[in-house]
Chain A
Amino acid sequence: MSILPFPSFLDDVKDKGFKKAVFEGIDDSVERLTAGLNIQDLREAFRGETASRRPNPRLTPHADGFWLHMRPSYFNRDVTGMYPTFRLGWLSSYFVFFETITGILLMLWYTPSPEIAYGDMLTILSNVPLGQLMRDMHRLGAEFMVAVVSMHMMRTWITGSYKKPRQFTWFTGLLLLVITGFLSFSGYLLPWDQLSLWAVTIGASMAEATPVVGDQVNLLLRGAPELGANGLLRFYLLHVLALPALLFVFFGVHYYKVVIHGHSLPPQKENIGEDTAKRVPLDKRVYFIPDMLTYEMMWLGATTFIITVLCIWFYHAPLENHADPQVTPLGTTAPWYFLWIQGALKLGDKFFWGVAFPTIALGGLALLPYLDVTPSRRYAHRRFMLTIACLLISLTTILSYMGLAKFAVQTSAETEIVHELTFEPAHSKVGIGRTIPFDQMIVGAYTTAQMDHHDGLSASDAIAAFNAEAAANGQFEQMIQELKAQHVGANQLPLRFRAIPAVEAPKLMRVMEDFHHHLAAVEATELPNVWGALVITDNQGSLKRLDWIVSWDSVLIEGGKVQVDDNGDPILIFSDQVDAEGNPIPVRRIYSDHLFIHQASAYFD
């Protein structure tokens, strides 16, 4: 007779005593939670002993439990090492979950609106404890995920694992690669800084080249002719809703296929044309519990550990200035994993290289298992396909290199050099001119001409000589006019150049040497008789203004190329004035750019 009107735990206590009843209750709960393993089974498993119960309780979670029903209960020993999988598939899955978790945390502080998004980034960095770490991890995880998924694809190609019966697995994998690329790309826009706006503008404008539907696709994607509030909202929804949903669907299909067909063995381990992945001999079985489970938990710890170390000491997610559709930054590029398309675009027709070529490439990849139907997976029998794989890797690398801003884009030397010295922080780099310590920004006008005078003159004598020269030929006055046009205050205009204070300001000296070095490299071609100057002025108590000036004799440039005479010297453009000896004077050109540096803004190299 039960104590209560229904059977209860108290009856157990009455029958067996309190201690035994509690232990059995706990044991029972553990077995329910693990879908089949009681405490004793778990102890045996994690001690590496064989199971003492029959039938083997370690298989029950795979049969009865939800979470392990999609994991194989044992693996072939030949696929559990480094080779042939390199754990890339596992890593890809890891990043799917890693990105989901860090992404959801970031969503708590993010609003997809052009007015607010950038401010939210600043809030995450300035007012959310661990916010920076979370953002760095999400960003680094995204970059890793693209790399890992691509490598996973190349590995599958190289070991021939796409062959029958895994053709469809390969196809879903390719879909996952494309989705991963778009996920990463759609996340690019969300911080709403210059980097994101322009990388995405370039990317989205490729879609436009599609015939017939290009404009519509582009409009659908951006929500307006230019990226704005609607575009940001759409990219956000793609990033957090549509693409993850697609990813999880195909992730499920992909993994289901992997389990159905088994992990393909190293090619030399099975006979040609056979697929023995599902027939694992007893002595080759590595059981999921406990072996693979402990492996995976360890990798989980190790991978997260590595990412944490990287994000604390080696990597910070970039955040540039607020997005500004009116200001195109010099040297804008697509994200690195789309650089190959940008490189291809430089080859010619926008439609062919920007749309047709990537489509053909991806289509070819999708059809690969249906085109390459030879039975053998052995490397020796697949020389052609392996060659194609190497060519593909080389081609992508070369095209990506061509996609870099420095490749085949004509920018005039003076713009390039000044930009090189002054560019705002981007991709974890910053123009060296910004890294001069605030107390070394000593007010004055300095020139690279100081370094040109090597003939035994001291720095101050060289400067005195150059001052006289520049005053006589009007080049100094031209610089003053340029400074005035750039709104330098009348009281701030320099009267003459000073020697660079190398002792008090070694970094300033180094920057000027750098400036001189860059100019000297093009003096013989694009910028004859060039000198550069840096004019430092006080703007506010804690704010300096740095004006960078380049002055040179103009040369004839046609089609972006400097025109040379028969001697190989550049052809100068002369004004209608003559000097004292009756020789014509070349047209003197001047270029300037400026930046402001605040004491607290702390740029580092």
Chain B
Amino acid sequence: MNLLFIRSIDGRILMGITMFVGMMIMVGWVAINEEARMQAFVEQHTGRAIERGAELYASLCSECHGEEGYGAGDRAPGLNNPHLFGYDPVGLQTAAIINANRALVRLNKDIDTLLAELTDADNPPSEERQNEILAALNDLEAQVDEQNVRIEAAVAERITVLESLDTAVDNGLFPLWDTVVDIEQTAANEVEIFFSNNGTRLAQVGWAGDLRGYIITTLIHGRPGSGNVWPNSEGMAAWSQTAGGALRQDQIEDLAEYILNWDKGAGWAFEDYISVAQYGKPLADGSLPSEPPPPPAGDNVLGILARWEADEVAGSAVSGESLYDKEFGCTDCHRDGASAPDTIGTFTRVTSERLTLPQFAGYSFEQYVIESVVRPGDYVVDSYSSGLMPANFGARMTDQQLADIVAFLMTQG
């Protein structure tokens, strides 16, 4: 500490200057490393965005698109999907055919030039030249044959590949495949045209932007169910808050990061193509589409009670406790009575205090608790503030879950 109370003026000036220069050197040192640090931060942050996206995917999307992104039943396509990322299963063969066709065009042009020279009546070539031309023509014919062999080989190979895609086609890959009735009979360029229009998801829907934009737009707005390819699809919900859904924009972007992270780039293989549910038909292994999730309870208290009665819904306190503590995080607030009534003692408090209030005349314990959960704003105990409890639990819980929670609270005497 004596250092900070140097008694001589020049000592202080020297100390001050040293400190100032030292600080500037450190800041300079930080500055020259900033590019690398910022780059590292971007990578790290993208990693965490993918983690958060994975969490959202598991809880919101895996039901229809499959836990591993291979699709589930006949409800939605797999997203861990080469078709989505632009992998063309017959790309190599198509390229070979196109290259050979280009070579053929060039060769035919050369042949035409030589033939024109040979048959020119005004200026007939010398005999020596005629022999030269004939030899060259023979050579060119041989090259034409060679290219034709290549095309045939590539077409045959493509047929093999496309035939091995039959399973996927049966599963609904390329719904317009019927337009190419018989691969072997169809002109080769028709198959090419088909693939340039249908070979990737973006081409298929005629999307002009990039894949990220396509994914984000779909997540934001959802899409109507297309009955012809997805017999059991109710369409995709609009997930973004912008479009009336539940997710914030940053969550939409996290989800897109996660989906894009399935891209294998050059690593996609033919096996990937046939292992993923492309379109809505029963899977090749004959497995059935999964059942749609039960509808949410909603916020009509008497309606819920009536359904409980009709469907004989019985709550389980054990499962209710887990829902209460974990799934819906009720204990986070309902714990020490500071921000919300304590969980402990709920049953006694409700039955002996709340239900004696005039506005709850005729209420049962169940009705009171259901109303408190699905319509938290209707009545708030005096010493607590309104608006704290989210009002969307009715939309998030099923009848069974609500019954479990009521059963659990009944045990909290």
Contacts and interface: CB of A to CB of B under 8 A. Distances in A.
B338 interface: yes
A601 B48 contact: yes
Interface stretch (A294-302, A449-457, A463-471): A294-302
B48 A205 contact: no
Contacts of A214: 385
A598 B27 contact: no
B10 A587 contact: no
Nearest to A539: B54
A412 to B, nearest CB: 7
Contact of A125 (B16, B41, B344, B387): B41
Contacts of A126: 38, 41-42, 45
Interface stretch (A253-261, A355-363, A484-492, A523-531): A484-492
A522 interface: no
A346 B325 contact: no
Chain B interface helix/strand/loop/mixed = helix
Contacts of B6: 298
A350 to B, nearest CB: 6
A597 interface: yes
B331 interface: yes
Contacts of A324: 248
Given A115-B249, A122-B45, A225-B387, A299 B23 contact: no
A322 B248 contact: yes
Interface in B241-261: 248-251, 258, 261
Nearest to B267: A541
A487 B26 CA distance: 49
A601 B55 contact: no
A587 B4 CA distance: 67
Nearest to B254: A322
Nearest to A319: B45
B23 A599 contact: no
Nearest to A554: B318
Contacts of B43: 600
Interface residues of A, number: 89
A352 to B, nearest CB: 11
A598 B6 CA distance: 53
Contacts of A412: 325
A587 B45 contact: no
A487 B59 contact: yes
B102 to A, nearest CB: 37
Contacts of A593: 326
Contact of B264 (A208, A325, A327, A541): A541
A29 interface: no
Interface string B26-42: 11001100110110111
A563 B40 CA distance: 52
Interface string B311-351: 00000001000100110010111011011000010000000
A596 interface: yes
B197 interface: no
A322 B250 contact: yes
Contacts of B15: 298, 301-302
Contacts of B10: 47-48
Given A127-B38, A129-B31, A540-B262, A598 B9 contact: no
B325 A415 contact: yes
A125 B38 CA distance: 7
B67 A596 contact: no
B58 interface: yes
A81 interface: yes
Nearest to A128: B38
Nearest to B32: A129
B239 to A, nearest CB: 14
Contact of A492 (B20, B23, B67): B67
B141 interface: no
Interface of B: 1, 4-6, 8-10, 12-13, 15-20, 22-23, 26-27, 30-31, 34-35, 37-38, 40-48, 50-52, 54-55, 58-59, 62, 66-68, 80, 248-251, 258, 261-262, 264, 318, 322, 325-326, 329, 331-333, 335-336, 338-339, 344, 383, 385-388, 390, 392
Given A126-B42, A205-B385, A542-B50, 17 more contacts: A82-B1, A82-B5, A115-B248, A129-B35, A209-B383, A290-B9, A295-B12, A301-B19, A302-B4, A309-B26, A415-B326, A540-B54, A595-B55, A598-B46, A598-B50, A601-B47, A601-B51
Which 9 A-B residue pairs are closest in the complex by CB-CB distance? Answer: A225-B387, A601-B47, A301-B19, A489-B67, A598-B47, A600-B47, A328-B332, A298-B16, A596-B54
Interface of A: 46-48, 81-82, 87, 115, 118-119, 122, 125-127, 129-130, 132-133, 202, 205, 208-209, 214-215, 218, 225-226, 290-291, 294-295, 297-302, 304-305, 308-309, 312, 321-322, 324-328, 330, 332, 345-346, 350-351, 408-412, 415, 486-492, 539-543, 545, 554, 559-560, 587, 589, 591, 593-602
8 contacts: A82-B5, A130-B30, A295-B5, A322-B250, A411-B331, A412-B325, A492-B68, A560-B344
